[in-house]
Homo-oligomer: A and B are copies of this chain.
């Protein structure tokens, strides 16, 4: 048998294929066992690798949350801002450096609860930012409180007897606000998710990918759903792929089928294109298309 012995020495850390995109000096990360976040990060790193983009010209911005910690682990120019404010920070960064790809990596609470206003407005403006939202149906970082995504009857530390608020359907909200690319996958749809990330990053305009991911420590535990592994399986097995479906038909109920797929992929001028077109129209040749900071300041 020519198979070599499995190596398991820590010396080989340097060879992990994602290491170029990860801050190895910060490993191990803080995420729990069977948390879906690490998997989603791998998918993003893979997407970036596969796109072959200049990683010097990419930035990631996060708010606060377990998901928000992504900015601390990805080896790009990376900004860990305040809770809910990743998008406006990213908008400023994007406008100042339109030549860079800006990715916002945010949790469901961060992005849609406290950050909800920025979400709808940045989408409305069709700002060329890629937004990845890890929806674990809960506020994980702070210990398992209800989120605007928590399905009805699901338990959280602030809905100890079961949630009774109607949740958002994030793809629908994104689409209604103006997003030009909208997709949803579970964390186990690893290759499809990676592909969506690639499409979203390549897309000029506001692109949004929701990733349904297990929070083992809080969501799974509070709802007696087993481990994150069970949840990972559960989400995947209970999902149906429906590309191009009307987002409003993609509501998520507790423990019922999760519709996944690419829902929206349309063309619409981005914020900066609109800005340049409008000014060109008004000022003619006097106007030099806006190009942002040349990076030299």
Contact = CB atoms under 8 A, between A and B. Distances in A.
Interface of A: 113-114, 116-117, 120-121, 124-126, 148, 152-153, 161-169, 172-173, 175-178, 248, 268, 271, 274-275, 277-279, 281-283
A275 B152 CA distance: 11
Contact of A121 (B116, B161, B164, B277): B116
Contact of A168 (B162, B166, B177): B177
Given A116-B116, A116-B121, A121-B148, A172 B176 contact: yes
Given A116-B117, A116-B120, A116-B121, A274 B176 contact: no
A165 B271 CA distance: 7
A248 B164 contact: no
Number of copies: 2
Nearest to A283: B161
Given A152-B274, A169-B176, 12 more contacts: A120-B120, A161-B278, A162-B281, A163-B278, A164-B275, A164-B278, A165-B271, A165-B274, A166-B274, A168-B177, A175-B176, A176-B248
Given A173-B177, A176-B173, A165 B124 contact: yes
Contacts of A165: 124-125, 271, 274
Contacts of A282: 161-162
A148 B124 contact: yes
A120 to B, nearest CB: 6
A282 B283 CA distance: 65
A101 to B, nearest CB: 21
B120 A173 contact: yes
A104 to B, nearest CB: 17
Contacts of A177: 168, 173
A278 B162 contact: yes
A115 to B, nearest CB: 8
A157 B181 CA distance: 32
Nearest to A172: B176
Contacts of A283: 161
A220 to B, nearest CB: 21
Nearest to A176: B176
Contacts of A120: 116, 120, 168, 173
A168 B124 contact: yes
Contacts of A173: 120, 176-177
29 contacts: A113-B121, A114-B117, A116-B116, A117-B117, A120-B120, A120-B168, A124-B165, A124-B167, A124-B168, A125-B166, A126-B166, A152-B274, A153-B278, A161-B278, A161-B279, A162-B282, A164-B274, A164-B275, A164-B277, A165-B274, A166-B178, A166-B268, A168-B177, A169-B176, A172-B176, A173-B176, A173-B177, A176-B176, A176-B248
Contacts of A124: 148, 165-168
